[in-house]
């Protein structure tokens, strides 16, 4: 049966999966959501015998229903190949406190690779299916990791250009170096004098600017998005939760049907929303544990039912979670409002005009599966040290936020359900913060000296992504004010 996607702000705006992937954002500024979620039609015992690619197919065939099997297999096989440094693609490793689902074995060593290695294939296949002749311009705002993963995914993909905006002073040195050294004639990277929310707002404005879009079309271009507002990113992320569950069965840790919890370090709410979709599709997830850093707008929302972005934006050591406007929360709001686009649109209008909205008690009742917590900077650092001392295992700052929130949860509730922590980045991506947490006496060393220290204590080989940037030349130097993003885009496109 064909699955139809609808805008969260207008029940009449619908699209097939491939059209929704091409457009990224609905015309009315809403996000595309599936109008219902189909149930898995293969047993979890059977999935326990499959590899990552096969599990991904079992998921994607249910949510990208206008793709043929051949098209999906083409996309999956080209995405999840030797670009990943392990055949398992997303290994589940058992440590003393929980299972860590390592989502950082792709090209840019963060979990964004899980979706961004397949998105270019999904997007170019969608263009072909819909007879699109314009060149596709991927516009992306990044808090650090999406940018590099999208650049790596789209570099030199025929028929596409990619333009990435990042907060000039809001990403880690390694994240910045990774982006500004990006190869590929179709890649453009811009630092903006503003924070991530400024970058994301600027990009969303260009998407919904009808005049700009018409002007681009005259010149043979159309925009699409590599941010997690695109269902081409959300849907592949469902697969690794199913895969994690199937590995728990395969290793005899649980029986099919037993519950698991998931713990997700959260920023734009894309990763945890994918877990929620997996649950709606029948994956036996009990609690969805949402972990925030000091930018705890989501924690406050789950406590009070009031989403309030009017607060100080705090730069932390987990920069990919430094976000005050969690875009994908809109998809959850739409759902708990009973798939009511008008009600959701009203709340999102309040968010953009007043910076806050409050949900009804009835809607709040629908959030019982979620638990939220947050970790301060000191707690995050202490957690990295604790896990290292207990298990000799080095986790990154984002994963540490999740680990801390999970341990608080366990203490508070006594819940011993097997729990999977989404491990969203390699510690090598945030080497300085990680090494500072473990041994602050090394702080005077350079970033690359710290990389070598990290290898020495963890025994984990330096990932290729880090080796690559040790000596790579800087290719991108554009910096602009947040007001000038459109001008910069036109300049790159020569229109
Ligand atoms: C993007 C990112 C997150 C946040 O994920 P969302 O889907 O935006 O909630 C967490 N950790 C890392 C390392 C990331 O790159």
The model's pLDDT over 31-83, given as tens digits with 9 standing for 90+, comes to: 999 989 999 999 999 999 999 999 999 999 999 999 999 999 999 999 999 99
* pLDDT tier for residue 96 given thresholds of 50, 70 and 90: very high
Which long-range contacts link 70-79 to residues 24+ away (Cβ below 8 Å)?
Answer: 71/125, 71/129, 74/121, 74/125, 75/118, 75/121, 75/122, 75/125, 76/118, 77/53, 78/118, 78/121, 79/117, 79/118, 79/121, 79/236
Query: Is residue 429 within 6 Å of ligand 1 at its C-beta?
Result: no
Q: Which atom of ligand 1 is nearest to 323's Cα? A: 8
Q: Does the pLDDT at position 208 exceed 90?
A: no
* 112 Cα–ligand 1 center, Å: 7
* 264 Cα–ligand 1 center, Å: 9
Task: Note the pLDDT of residue 313.
Answer: 92
Residue nearest atom 14 in ligand 1 by C-alpha distance:
320
Q: Does the pLDDT at position 128 exceed 90?
A: yes
**24: region left, alpha or beta (phi > 0 left; psi from -120 to 50 alpha):** left
> pTM for this one?
0.94
The encoded tokens of residue 250 equal 């395969």
The dihedral over CA atoms of 110, 114, 53, 231, expressed in degrees to the nearest 10, equals: 170
* pLDDT tier for residue 145 given thresholds of 50, 70 and 90: confident
Measure the CA–CA gap between 116 and 120, rounded to whole angstroms.
7
Query: Is residue 110 within 6 Å of ligand 1 at its C-beta?
Result: yes
* pLDDT tier for residue 103 given thresholds of 50, 70 and 90: very high
* 372 Cα–ligand 1 center, Å: 16
* pLDDT tier for residue 246 given thresholds of 50, 70 and 90: very high
Task: Note the pLDDT of residue 13.
Answer: 95
Q: Which domains does the chain have, with CATH numbers?
A: 92-108+232-462 (3.40.50.1100)
Average of pLDDT values for 259-274? 97
Report the range of poorest mean pLDDT among 135-139, 171-175, 229-233, 401-405: 171-175
Query: Is residue 270 within 6 Å of ligand 1 at its C-beta?
Result: yes
Measure the CA–CA gap between 249 and 237, rounded to whole angstroms.
20
Average of pLDDT values for 281-310? 98
Q: Which atom of ligand 1 is nearest to 145's Cα? A: 15
Yes or no: say if 313 and 267 are a contact pair by the CB < 8 Å rule.
no
Q: Does the pLDDT at position 173 exceed 90?
A: no
Average pLDDT, the chain: 96
Average of pLDDT values for 427-432? 94
Q: How many CB atoms lie within 10 A of CB 29?
A: 19
The single residue listed with the structure tokens 């999208």 is 150
- From the list 246, 307, 304, the residue with the least C-alpha distance to 278 is 246
The answer for residues whose C-beta is within 8 angstroms of residue 402's C-beta and 6 or more apart is: 263, 264, 265, 289, 291, 421, 422, 423, 424
Task: Note the pLDDT of residue 76.
Answer: 98
Average of pLDDT values for 426-433? 95
Q: Name the DSSP class of 339.
A: S
Percent of the chain exceeding pLDDT 90 equals 92
β-strand partners of 138: 162, 224
């Amino acid at each position: 049966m064909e699955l139809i996607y609808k805008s969260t702000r207008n029940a009449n705006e619908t699209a097939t999966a491939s059209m929704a992937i091409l457009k990224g954002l609905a015309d009315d500024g809403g996000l595309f959501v599936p109008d219902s979620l189909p149930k898995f039609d293969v047993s979890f015992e059977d999935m326990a015998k499959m590899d990552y690619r096969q599990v991904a197919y079992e998921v994607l065939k249910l949510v990208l229903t206008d793709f043929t099997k051949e098209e999906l297999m083409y996309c999956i096989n080209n995405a999840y190949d030797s670009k990943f440094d392990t055949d398992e693609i997303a290994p589940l490793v058992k440590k003393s406190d929980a299972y860590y689902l390592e989502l950082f074995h792709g090209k840019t060593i963060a979990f964004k690779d899980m979706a961004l290695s397949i998105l270019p294939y999904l997007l170019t296949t969608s263009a072909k299916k819909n007879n699109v002749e314009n060149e596709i311009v991927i516009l992306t705002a990044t808090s650090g990791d999406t940018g590099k993963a999208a650049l790596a995914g789209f570099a030199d993909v025929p028929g596409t250009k990619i333009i990435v905006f990042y907060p000039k002073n809001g990403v880690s040195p390694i994240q910045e170096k990774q982006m500004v050294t990006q190869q590929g004639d179709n890649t453009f990277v811009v630092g903006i004098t503003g924070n991530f929310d400024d970058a994301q707002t600027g990009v969303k404005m260009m998407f919904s600017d009808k005049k700009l879009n018409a002007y681009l079309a005259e010149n043979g271009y159309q925009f699409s998005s590599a941010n997690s507002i695109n269902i081409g990113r959300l849907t592949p992320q469902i697969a690794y939760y199913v895969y994690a569950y199937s590995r728990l069965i395969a290793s005899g840790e649980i029986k099919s049907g037993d519950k698991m919890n998931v713990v997700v370090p959260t920023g734009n709410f894309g990763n945890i929303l994918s877990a929620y979709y997996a649950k709606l599709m029948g994956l036996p997830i009990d609690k969805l544990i949402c972990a925030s850093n000091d930018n705890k707008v989501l924690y406050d929302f789950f406590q009070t039912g009031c989403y309030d972005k009017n607060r100080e934006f705090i730069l932390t050591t987990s920069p990919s979670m430094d976000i005050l406007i969690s875009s994908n929360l809109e998809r959850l709001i739409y759902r708990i409002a009973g798939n009511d686009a008008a009600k959701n649109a009203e709340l999102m209008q309040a968010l953009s005009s007043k910076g806050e909205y409050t949900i009804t008690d009835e809607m709040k009742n629908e959030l019982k599966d979620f638990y939220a917590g947050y970790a301060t900077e000191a707690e995050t650092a202490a957690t990295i040290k604790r896990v290292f001392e207990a298990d000799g295992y080095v986790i990154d700052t984002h994963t540490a936020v999740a680990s801390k929130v999970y341990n608080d949860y366990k203490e508070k509730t006594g819940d011993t359900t097997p729990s999977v922590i989404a491990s969203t980045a390699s510690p090598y991506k945030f080497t300085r913060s990680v090494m500072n947490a473990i041994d602050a006496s090394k702080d005077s060393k350079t970033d690359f000296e710290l990389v070598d220290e990290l290898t020495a204590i963890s025994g984990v080989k330096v990932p290729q992504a880090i080796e690559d940037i040790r000596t790579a030349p800087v290719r991108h130097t554009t910096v602009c004010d947040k007001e000038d993003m459109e001008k910069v885009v036109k300049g790159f496109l020569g229109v």
